[in-house]
Amino acid sequence: MSSILSNVLPAPEDPVLSVIFACRDDPCPVKLNVSARAYRTEEGKPLVLEVVRKAEQQLANDLQGYLPIDGLADFNKLSAKLTLGDDSHAVEENRVVTIQCLSGRLRVVFVPNPTWGNHPFIFTLAGLCVEYFRYYDPQTRGLDFEGMLEDLGAAPSGAIVVLQSCAHNPTGIDPTLEQWEKIRQIVRSKGLLPFFDNAYQVRSTCLFFNLNFHGFATGNLDSDAQSVCMFVADGGECLIAQSFAKNMGLYGERIGTLTIVCTSQDVARKVHSQVLLVVRPMYLSPPIHGASIVTTILKNSDMYKDWTIELKGMADRIISMRQQLYEAIQARGTPGDWTHIIKQIGMFSFTGLNKKQVRWMAKEYHIYMTYDGYVI
């Protein structure tokens, strides 16, 4: 029988999925994938926050129907408040549009090198031309700040620039506040459109198409949001996508928002109308369950407090694990400078291991990570 699909070629190997499959297929009973991309307990199990359990119990008897095209109103309002702060002038002046998910229109997008592996795929499929700006310096295992400024300064006016405000994925390296101010100045002077991917912070953003928004930088809501607030406070435009996948443990819900800060209320009204036209053919009505959980927690002061306590506990545990890893490496007299382990922040780390060393660890010790030494 002839086959229409017989000429389909196998897809190129995905660096993250290949690690997942290799670990899965390893028959050794004692194995570990340290590039699993998710927060786990000491037992290696997914963590369900107690406050999320309480919210779900509260919602158990509620009837749920279709949501409006722009999502649950309270969820959007509270998410914007979480992102921008209680005293945001942009919110007070009605210059903010918040909605559950959308796509984009500009032609060129600049992303950090390196960046989250899905960024290039997402933007390319959206019809954008993906360019890179320098970010990671393999020699210092730190930020290539001068290279970053030089590349942003050469970007064409009107280009989108993807910025991760804290706990950069995959390097765990963040600019200082002073460096953020210089980044803000060059973005504004060049007429670029900042698009914040704060996948590892709480009071802020994520990225396009409801990308995963986590919450494991410092554990402090205000500290984690400072870079975004710099851009919002200057009155200019910016896009902020937000997901509650990791900071509330809602991985399977894919619940998030996109907040667009505009220059005026009139512009915001027009942007909102265009956003609805983009959303309608994509999914029409966003999912309600995850939005209801988040809304329940954010509206209830006791639940909100419990959430911040649990979140701080997760962030502190990650910081402690970094310190323990560093001390264990030092105790064994491992050659080289490993201070980058404790200088980096959040869930991710570029260990500095090369492909040969990564393969050796998988073969000899059944410890799996991506070939660039990227650990989460």
Q: Which residue among 144, 246, 307, 338 is the active-site one?
A: 246
197 carries an active-site annotation? yes
CA dihedral sign of residues 349, 354, 358, 360: negative
Residues 361, 338: Cα–Cα separation, whole Å = 18
Q: Which residues contact 24 (CB under 8 A, 6 or more apart)?
A: none
List, in sequence order, the alpha helices (H) in the chain: 15-25, 50-59, 73-84, 89-92, 118-125, 145-153, 177-189, 221-224, 226-233, 265-282, 289-299, 301-331, 340-343, 355-365
Residue 40 is classified by DSSP as B
| Rounded Cα gap, residues 238 and 149, in angstroms | 19
End-to-end CA distance of the chain, in Å? 46
The pair of structure tokens assigned to 114 is 């390196």
Catalytic residue, from 197, 224, 307, 338: name it. 197
Q: Indicate if 246 belongs to the active site.
A: yes
Q: Is 307 one of the annotated active-site residues of the chain?
A: no
* Interior angle at CA 339, CA 133 and CA 17, nearest 5: 55
Note the Cα 178 to chain centre separation in Å.
22
For 110, phi then psi, to 5°, come to: -105, 130
Task: Indicate which residue of 54, 70, 116, 338 is catalytic.
Answer: 116
Comparing CA positions, the residue from 285, 195, 288, 301 lying closest to residue 250 is: 288
CA dihedral sign of residues 296, 299, 304, 306: negative
Tell me how many degrees the CA angle 324-327-332 measures, rounded to the nearest 5: 125
Catalytic residue numbers read 116, 197, 246
